[in-house]
Structure 1
């Protein structure tokens, strides 16, 4: 099933991001925020309905080890609008051009979450020489839809057929109140505009992006080259966040988790240096906050693997200290 509902993105004219700066890429202004030094650079690819600054806290920790990069895809966050959904080829080509425009040298350790995990895989498939490693956080898998229980597939079809609603002022205010505790650890200068963006724009872009997972993006992943032989960690979150619990009964969630775990295990074993890690008590949407230490450990482990593999190259000049688990 293909969807082509257009959306102009969060704003026609690009608003000023609380952090980072804009770069001209393909005729659009795209937001990128970079801190830290050294290589390979860690690049965070957000999930659908999320933006680069959602990963600010784990980004700041990664920047203690190496260069760390947050960005917003076109049509999301503080980047200029684009028609959504988009192909994986468009998104990964755009990311490559943005990193070059910002002067962030390859290769990269790509940290992809959910939909961002699919894009990270596609980037590695297209540009293997520019990929140092992969951390896939509860990534979307192209076969999950077919393996999910019938009840889940039918519910998704209903959701995708619906028009994206407009929230009332009362609903917007309620959403702001619900989001405030989630972003309590962000700096005030970032927290306020980030909450406002989430309740007014990010969730809409997420719905449009999500509709593209089950046809175009899945097809692109299936027909792309194999993943390169780079260090890979696939993290599976088995907890349920509020959105999932609202959509699916407990039995359906269990079946989805079983199918997801099997696919993630297979994905991790598809490369020689792949590893699968399971987080029992982390939900899908915010595992990078709920289990920040586990995510940071995975980043550090992958940087160590890169240093061992490329210790004589300029991108990994020295081994990283291994952290305690």
Structure 2
């Protein structure tokens, strides 16, 4: 084969191999922590997750080393900020979104705003869109305690995210479940101070997550409290790993 044709063939082969490698690459796992938490909340699971593909964790504005920002801190704003950050970091979709607590709500909103970018989602004790409204209606005494505790929080970002947690949700079309694979994991150990009325409310909202997300089932992690990634890291890693495996060609 002439040298020129041989070089051209080699270049074409390299391009084909690169395309094949890119097509088969695992989606990037994007981690979103809960209220008051930065990326350090993922330390118990981060090394294991990184063994199976790319992972992105970050601090929202006002947490960790990230500077605070002015303006609204509602779920839509935070989802759009994450979208812009992923673009700035040249982290291309598809993404496997993982969210804990209110971070689960933020990831759910991201999937509603950018469904074409999301391959799947793992939600860990996610905050339901109606969580705060339901608390105020069904367990007002406990809601008053939570409101007072948040008011004296030293972290301004925490106060503002709590205040704005439901601000934009009425703008989203939530009539149909998400059109992507979703794993829904919830804690089996109740938090200290949880009353029977609160547990009843929480059970109702957890079941409604099945409707919102389209998850096939609710996986109760019996040995875990609210921080599933700390109390049962192997369960969280396995859920992400299993879902990620189904998303690869």
TM norm structure 1: 0.62
Residue in 2 that maps onto 1:159: 149
2:161 aligned partner? 209
What does 1:1-325 align with in structure 2 at a 5 Å threshold? Answer: 38-83=25-70, 86-148=73-135, 149-160=139-150, 162-164=151-153, 205-213=157-165, 215-216=166-167, 220-226=168-174, 227-240=177-190, 244-245=191-192, 248=193, 250=194, 252=195, 254-284=196-226, 286-307=227-248, 311=249
Q: Which runs of 5+ in 1 are unaligned?
A: 1-36, 166-202, 312-325
Query: Structure 2: how far apart are the matches of 1:236 and 1:222?
Result: 25
**Residue aligned with 1:109, SS:** strand
3-state DSSP of counterpart to 1:60: helix
Q: After TM superposition, where is structure 1 displaced by more than 6 Å over at least 4 residues in a row?
A: none
Tell me the alpha carbon deviations over residues 166-213 of structure 1, each in whole angstroms, 9 at most, x when there is no partner.
xxxxxxxxxxxxxxxxxxxxxxxxxxxxxxxxxxxxx55334422322
Mark the runs of 5 or more structure 2 residues left unpaired by the alignment: 1-23
Deviation at 1:276, TM superposition (A): 1.4
**1:245-285 superposed Cα distances (whole Å, 9 cap, x missing partner):** 2xx2x5x1x4323322222222124455533111223221x
Which of structures 1 and 2 has the bigger CA Rg? Answer: 2
Describe the SS at the equivalent of 1:274. Answer: coil
Matched residues in 1 for 2:183 and 2:156: separation?
Answer: 30
RMSD (Å) for aligned C-alpha atoms: 2.3
CA gap of 1:212–1:264, structure 2 versus 1, over 3 A, is same
Distance 1:232 1:76, change over 3 A: same
Counterpart Cα distance in 2 of 1:229 and 1:106: 16
Counterpart Cα distance in 1 of 2:163 and 2:188: 23
Distance 1:92 1:63 in 2: 23
Q: Is the CA contact (8 Å cut-off) linking 1:238 and 1:257 kept in structure 2?
A: no
Mapped contact 1:239–1:280 kept (Cα < 8 A) = yes
Q: What CA deviation, in whole Å up to 9, does each residue of 1:216-268 have, x standing for no partner? A: 1xxx234312353101112111324xxx52xx2x5x1x432332222222212
Q: Is the 8 A contact 2:30 2:96 kept in 1?
A: yes
Q: Deviations over 1:8-27 (max 9, x none)?
A: xxxxxxxxxxxxxxxxxxxx
Equivalent in the alignment of 2:3? none
> Residue 87 of structure 1: CA displacement?
2.0
CA contact (8 A) 1:85 1:211 kept: no
Aligned length: 221
How far apart in 2 are the matches of 1:255 and 1:39? Answer: 42
Distance 1:164 1:101, change over 3 A: same
Q: Distance in 1 between matches of 2:152 and 2:147?
A: 12
